[in-house]
Structures are given as structure tokens and as C-alpha cells.
Structure 1
Amino acid sequence: MRLQTNKGFTLVEMVTVIIILGILVVGVSSFVILGTRIFVESSSVDQVLSQSRFVIERMTRELRNALPNSIRVASSSDAQCIEFMPITASASYISLPIAPDSATDSGSVMLPAQGINLAHKMVIYPLSPAQLYQDSPSTTQGRIFDVKQLSGNQIEFNNALRFDEASPQKRYFIVNGAVSYCFLSRGDIRRYDGYGVQTTQPTPAQMGTGALMGQHVVNNLGSEEPIHYTPGTLVNNAVVQLSPRFEVNGQTFQYQHQVQVINVP
């Protein structure tokens, strides 16, 4: 009679297999963790890059559409803000009350394709921000006035008035308030609008919460301002230099972007 032998694994073999499998699992998991970490970090960097490109492009487009000589910049330890009046419409005027002519409450203009409504203000030949940013605009003479009514090509104002100076190209601009972009010390970039027109450039706290446009800005506002502005002259356009520096996951990148604001008379 033949005896059958039992086949199986010894304890030593099982322990050896467990040790080998453990080493393989540790190696594979380390590889997976490293790959996941690289993916997460690269995704974060890509997100900040996309976000920064968006805010720079958005600022560029809006600044290029800014009313000539409406740009002003204010800096503090908490924020640096650039404020301007976007042009809503523009066209030529036919006849308007302009000094030294007598003041009247109406004039004739060529209508812009964008149209004019009663929330708009008319501007002629602005030469400085001080002539535009007024809590209580002059009711009789100035460079910016509220529009009361528009009938055909006839425009009416709230009272008899006259503009300070004629445009060399007989051009008028239509605006509807101011817009600000602020670089905050905590690293945010915010856009503000709908806060009205104020003589003194408002701070972020005076303009509400604003819209978050970007994050991770690490400029030192005291020594490395992200905005540099060179006003326009009779022969040169205004220039806004944007140099925000972003940092994410230990990686730093900085923009050097220049925006020209055409000084159209």
C-alpha cells in the first residue's frame, strides 16, 4: 500500500513570499504617490498660469479701451490700484456749447453705433484725471456732463452749460462710471466697478468686495509694485507697465507686460 504525501507551503516559504510582496507593494505605492504628487503640483502650477494669463489679458483689453487721461494709480501698504473710465461709445459732434461760446442746454451730435442712454456721461477733450473724477461735476462749465435726453441727433443736458475746450478732431466720448483693478497685499487681484465716481481715488474697502480675478501674487507692494504708469503727452501715448510676480508650489514666474493707452484727442 502506497502512502500519499501532502503537498503545500512551508512557513518559511510563506513568510518569504509575504516579505517579497510587501517590498513590491511599497515600491509600487511610492511610485504611484510620487506620480500623483507630480500631477497635483503640475495641475496647480498650470491653474495659476492660466489664471494669471487671463487677468493680464483682461486688464490689457480694458486698459486699451480706457478714456484718454482717465487713468490714475494709488499705492499703499495694503494694495495698489489702477482706476480708469472705460469708453462706452465714441463719435463726432456737429455742434456743442464750447467756451468761449455761450452756455446752452443742447447740441447736435453724430450718433455712435453703441447708442447713448441717460446713465451715460459725455466727455470732450479730457486732459487730466482731475477734470474727470468729481463727486459733484460742475453744472455750468467743465469737460464731463450727464446726458439728460437724446432725440434723433439732438442731445440735451440738465441745464445750460458749456465745455471747457473743443476737441481737435471734434470727437466726444461716452462713459458710464469707473473701473478699478487692485493688487492686494494678501495676494489677490480684484476688479471693482459700480462704485460711482469719486474725487479721491477710492481704496478697496470703499469699493465693496469686487470680483476675484487672480491669486498667488507675491509682489512686495512697498518695493516691487506690480503697476507702473507713465501718463500720455501731446506726442506720446500713455503706458501702463504690468509686472506681477506669482508663486505656487515653490515656483515663481513674473510678467513684464506693457499696455499702450492711445491718447486720442
Structure 2
Amino acid sequence: MLSRNRSQSGFTLIEAVMVIVITGIIGVLAAGFVRPLEGYFDTLNRADLSDTADTALRRMARDIRLALPNSVRINISGNSRYLDFLATTGGGRYRAALDAGAGDILDFIAADTSFDVLGPPVTIAAGDQIVVSNLDDPGADAYEGNTLSTHVRRAASVTGTVANVSITSTNPLPHESPAQRFQIVHEQVRYLCDLTTGRLIRYAGFPIAPPAAEVPVGGSNALLASGVTACSFTYAPGSAQRSGLVTISLTLSNNSDPLDNVTLLHQVHVQNVP
């Protein structure tokens, strides 16, 4: 006769209920923990986006404050936004009149290849150019070059720290500066905001030319921000060309979550007194 005292295996009803209850408690606790964790990482992502956008805008602001008066240009082409300007490294005042019959003045009647600096000496690097009275007018536009008599930009022919500036010139400069100012132009800078690729790029060191809606050829470039979903550049020259205002708006998004984005607005004053 078979024995009926075999060991039994499996769960009792009480054990099953206890498992369900414990699993529910763990689920509630996990849900309560996940949401704050998601919020924490969302905050980190937004902080990273804000930091990237702020760094890019501050870099642009530092550059734009050094722009040659009346040299800021804005161009738009399709999904691309362009901001150009001529970057200066310094400047000073030129001698406009003789001092007791002595001194080297900057002559605007005839071609002149040198002039005295009034005040501290200026530092000129290889490739720098001298600009007097850039007015953003035909014949007085620094982007046009230095090959014709009406162009205001002249190549510096002597580098170093100098109290007398030498320039390459076969024609007189077209306009005097009301305050006898001159600026030292180092290069043209272009910021390109490409919404197709989502990138903000700084270009520099390419040949100076009238700004156009295109990617510069030559020079160097540096990526300032990626994940750009919106951007705008606007420029108000200001009353009587004395000052201008550049407004930059930049929106960055997280690639993994396009709805997670930040938008920063920055305004930069530029001097337009020639």
C-alpha cells in the first residue's frame, strides 16, 4: 500500500498574498524614487545646456566688443545665420598737426606711409592693418580693401611695439577722423549658426572680404555649441552712428529629448564712433 505521507511543494495562499503585497510595496517605493531621480538628471541636462549656451554667448560678446566701428554685418541664407565683423587689437590717436614744426603727421591730401602715435606706443602684429574712419559707405568701407584711393584700410608694413606707424599706401586715405583715431584690424571674424547641422561655429583668419552668406574658405574654425535648434542675430546701428546694439538669441536642445531646451538672450553694445 502506497504511503500518503509524501512531502508537498509549492506556495500556500498566504505566501502568495504576502509576495503580492511586498511586490506592490517595492513598486510604490521604486516609483517614488525614480521620479526624483529623473528630475535630478533633467536638471543636470538643462544646467549643461545653459552653461554651453552662456559660454558661447559670452565668447561672442567679448569678440563683438572689439569690433571695428561700423563693421558689424548680418546675413541670412536658408537655415544659416551669419554675423561678421572686423576684429581689432588696439588703436590710438594719430598726429594731425606739427608740434613746433616737428613730428610726422598723417596726411590726407597726399599719399602717406607713416605717422606718429600720440600717447602710448601701439603693438602691431604681422598681417595687421590700419583703419581710419570706417563709415560703412561706398568708398569708405574697410571690407573693400586697400588697393584704391577710396578704401580706408592700409596694411601695416612694420610690426612690433611702435610709436611711429608705417603703412603701405600709394593713395591718400579718404576721410579724417573727428577725434584723430585709428584702429588696428587683425582679422575678419564670422559666426555661423547652422540650423541644419545644429552647430554654432566661429571662423577667423580667412581673407578679409565683404561679408556674404557662405562658409569662409581658409583660416581656422572652432565649434562653440552643438544641439542648436534656433538662433537669431540682429543689429541696430544706433542713432547718428555713435553706438550700435547686437542682439543674439540662442536655443540649445538635448538630442535625446528635443523638448528639453534652453533659450538665452544676450545684447552687446559696440562703439561706432570712427
State which drifts further: 82-91 or 23-32.
23-32
State which drifts further: 45-54 or 203-212.
203-212
TM normalised by structure 2 equals 0.78
The equivalent of 1:36 in structure 2 is 37
Instruction: Sort the Cα spacing of 1:177 and 1:111 in 2 relative to 1 into closer, same or farther, 3 A.
Output: farther
Question: RMSD in angstroms over aligned alpha carbons?
Answer: 2.9
Instruction: Sort the Cα spacing of 1:200 and 1:59 in 2 relative to 1 into closer, same or farther, 3 A.
Output: closer
The equivalent of 2:174 in structure 1 is 164
Alignment partner of 1:234 out of 237, 240, 256:
240
User: Are the equivalent residues in 1 in contact too, given 2:94–2:118 (CA < 8 A)?
Assistant: yes
The equivalent of 1:125 in structure 2 is 133
Aligned-partner residue type, residue 107 of structure 1: F
More strand as a share of residues: 2
Instruction: Sort the Cα spacing of 1:199 and 1:29 in 2 relative to 1 into closer, same or farther, 3 A.
Output: same
- What secondary structure is seen at the aligned counterpart in 2 of 1:92? strand
The equivalent of 1:243 in structure 2 is 249
- What secondary structure is seen at the aligned counterpart in 2 of 1:87? strand
Tell me how far 1:206 sits from its aligned partner.
Answer: 3.9
Q: For residues 146 and 94 of structure 2, what CA distance do their matches in structure 1 show? A: 21
Q: For residues 245 and 143 of structure 2, what CA distance do their matches in structure 1 show? A: 20
Instruction: Sort the Cα spacing of 1:113 and 1:26 in 2 relative to 1 into closer, same or farther, 3 A.
Output: farther
User: Are the equivalent residues in 1 in contact too, given 2:71–2:86 (CA < 8 A)?
Assistant: yes
The aligned runs of 1:1-265 (5 Å cut-off) are 11-12=11-12, 13-94=14-95, 95-99=104-108, 101-110=109-118, 115-128=123-136, 131-134=141-144, 137-138=146-147, 142-149=151-158, 152-186=162-196, 187-201=198-212, 203-204=214-215, 206=217, 210-219=221-230, 226-234=232-240, 236-248=242-254, 249=257, 250-251=259-260, 253-265=262-274
State which drifts further: 122-131 or 248-257.
248-257
Q: For residues 140 and 11 of structure 1, what CA distance do their matches in structure 2 show? A: 101
Q: For residues 71 and 189 of structure 1, what CA distance do their matches in structure 2 show? A: 18
Tell me how far 1:256 sits from its aligned partner.
Answer: 4.2
Aligned-partner residue type, residue 224 of structure 2: M
- What secondary structure is seen at the aligned counterpart in 2 of 1:27? helix
Instruction: Sort the Cα spacing of 1:121 and 1:212 in 2 relative to 1 into closer, same or farther, 3 A.
Output: same
Q: For residues 170 and 205 of structure 1, what CA distance do their matches in structure 2 show? A: 33
User: Are the equivalent residues in 1 in contact too, given 2:241–2:273 (CA < 8 A)?
Assistant: no
- What secondary structure is seen at the aligned counterpart in 2 of 1:22? helix
Tell me how far 1:72 sits from its aligned partner.
Answer: 0.7
Q: For residues 194 and 185 of structure 2, what CA distance do their matches in structure 1 show? A: 27
> Which structure 1 segments of 5+ residues have no match?
1-9, 220-224
Q: For residues 232 and 207 of structure 1, what CA distance do their matches in structure 2 show? A: 33
User: Are the equivalent residues in 2 in contact too, given 1:90–1:112 (CA < 8 A)?
Assistant: no
Q: For residues 237 and 156 of structure 2, what CA distance do their matches in structure 1 show? A: 28
Instruction: Sort the Cα spacing of 1:202 and 1:210 in 2 relative to 1 into closer, same or farther, 3 A.
Output: farther
- What secondary structure is seen at the aligned counterpart in 2 of 1:155? strand
Tell me how far 1:177 sits from its aligned partner.
Answer: 0.8
Q: For residues 19 and 121 of structure 2, what CA distance do their matches in structure 1 show? A: 79
Instruction: Sort the Cα spacing of 1:44 and 1:252 in 2 relative to 1 into closer, same or farther, 3 A.
Output: closer
- What secondary structure is seen at the aligned counterpart in 2 of 1:163? coil
> Which structure 2 segments of 5+ residues have no match?
1-9, 96-103
- Describe the superposition over 1:114-171 as per-residue Cα deviations: whole angstroms up to 9, x where unpaired: 611232111111101761113x531655311111115852222235442111111111
